[in-house]
Amino acid sequence: MHPGPRALPTAATAFLLLATLAGCGASEPVPETTTAAGEGATSYPLTVENCGQEVVFDAAPQRVVSLDQGSTEILLSLGLEDRIVGTASWTDPVLESLAEAGSGVPRLADEAPAYEVVMSADPDFVTASFGRHFVQGGVAGRDRFAETGIESYLSPTDCDGGVSINGGGTRTEPLTFDPLYQEIRELAQVFDVPSRGEDLVAELEARRQAAIAGITGTGLTVAFWFSDLKTPYIAGGLGAPALLADQVGAENAFGDLADDWPATTWETVVDRDPDVIVLADLARERWPGDQAAEKIEFLTTDPVTKDLTAVAEERFILLTGAELNPSIRMVDGIEALAAGLQSIEAAA
């Protein structure tokens, strides 16, 4: 267990509070529904091409296990909470707007569950945001689920050329919102609620457009730190944080690196000396430094990092882990990042 959150440096608190409040404009739910009954718009059998695999549905799934927070929050946003028999791998609390819907969903594990735990929920469908669950050493291969008649689905945000990025592949093109919207629409079609999918995509896109309206560029360089005190995982140039930086007109200080979250050294961070450091504030307690308070204490006391421009000027912005992953939370991330950068520029 890690120690509880420590007091933040006073001058940094204003930036952190503003960014946190901006991020609290969580996705508004799709118009409330009382049942996950289908719309009769999907024709079955339905075939979905999904990351190099063909998945066939004879009917809408009735019992789904969602292996990641991102995929679970999409299902909740589609009003499908009564179909979810298990969820896992959470970095943050559920969106406030989805808390009531998600309150009855069983948490199989805070991290990845064992295959036997998933099977104990008796699913007929398994979804995941990250392909690491479907490889050796993960939960189970997709073929193993298929052998027992359980269809599986991997988020298109984690697929490049028919290969999972987090399952051993490499991202070759920058992430956009298109694969996220594809995931929403495909899951809505699978569950025969396509209009809900269109409503959710429209709501997210309207919020994204509003958040970036009028932004022409900040001129600030930004580094995104997700986890690990000793060997920091800093966002590269092709994943979700790079997309956020691009949307708000900032420059990703590590944008030349292809991996989503390459491990680097503090000496390299010092060499690049970003103007702003975005800190993942994770609710989980998996590694030292998961929470932002621990990150700030490290940055301000370590002899290698304490003289960084962003540290000396206390230019920190908090985002949740989910806002830094490919998910519906990316829109919240854009809103919070834009507000935080505007505050920093105004104070300069």
Q: Could you report the per-residue pLDDT of 323-332, keeping only the tens digit for each?
A: 999 999 999 9
The pLDDT value recorded for residue 14 is 36
- What pLDDT score was predicted for residue 206? 98
CA 24 vs CA 21, 334, 336, 337: distances in Å: 5, 12, 8, 12
What pLDDT score was predicted for residue 12? Answer: 40
For the chain, how long is the longest CA-to-CA vector?
A: 63
Q: What is the pLDDT of residues 147-179, one digit of tens each?
A: 999 999 999 999 999 999 999 999 999 999 999
Dist CA 17 CA 55 (whole Å):
44
Separation between Cα atoms, residue 142 and residue 137, nearest integer Å: 13
Confidence label for 180 from pLDDT (cuts 50, 70 and 90): very high
Read off the tokens for 51: 């990351």
247-269 pLDDT tens trace: 999 999 999 998 899 999 999 99
Q: Is 94 left (phi over 0), alpha (psi -120 to 50) or beta?
A: beta
pLDDT reported for residue 130: 97
Confidence of residue 16 (pLDDT cuts 50, 70, 90): very low
- Residues 299-348 have pLDDT tens digits of 999 999 999 999 999 999 999 999 999 999 999 999 999 999 999 988 87
Residue 22 has pLDDT above 80, yes or no: no
Secondary structure (3-state) at 186 = helix
For the four alpha carbons of 165, 257, 231 and 320, in that order, the dihedral sign comes to: negative
Q: Supply the pLDDT for residue 35.
A: 43
Q: pLDDT tens digits for 44-92?
A: 999 999 999 999 999 999 999 999 999 999 999 999 999 999 999 999 9
Instruction: Find all residues with CB under 8 Å of 128, minimum gap 6, and list them.
Output: 66, 67, 68, 71, 134, 152, 153, 154, 155, 158
226/25: higher pLDDT:
226
pLDDT at 140: 97
Q: What is the pLDDT of residue 2?
A: 32
Question: What percent of the chain is predicted at pLDDT more than 70?
Answer: 89
Query: Who contacts 231 (Cβ-Cβ below 8 Å, separation ≥6)?
Result: 263, 264, 265
pLDDT at 191: 98
Q: Name all domains of the chain by residue range, CATH numbers in brackets.
A: 10-26+216-347 (3.40.50.1980), 46-192 (3.40.50.1980)
pLDDT-derived band at 287 (thresholds 50, 70, 90) equals: confident
Q: Does residue 34 have a pLDDT over 90?
A: no
Contacts of 169 by beta carbon, 8 Å cutoff, 6+ apart? 131, 159, 160, 161, 163
∠159-164-169 over CA atoms, to 5°?
A: 110
The pLDDT of residue 127 is 98
Averaged pLDDT for residues 116-126: 98
User: Residues 91-129, buried b or exposed e (16+ Cβ, 10 A)?
Assistant: bbebbebbeebbeebeebbeebbeeeebbebebbbbbbb
Helices (H) and strands (E) in the chain, counts: 12, 14
What's the CA dihedral at 128, 32, 25, 259 to 10 degrees? 10
Q: What pTM was computed for the model?
A: 0.88
Cβ neighbours for 324, distance < 8 A, ≥ 6 positions apart: 224, 226, 235, 240, 241, 244, 278, 280, 333
pLDDT in tens, 213-229: 988 877 899 999 999 99
DSSP 159-177: EETTEETTTT----S---S
Q: Which of 36-45, 136-145, 276-285 has the highest mean pLDDT?
A: 136-145
Q: Which of 7, 20, 11, 96 is nearest to 279 (CA)?
A: 20
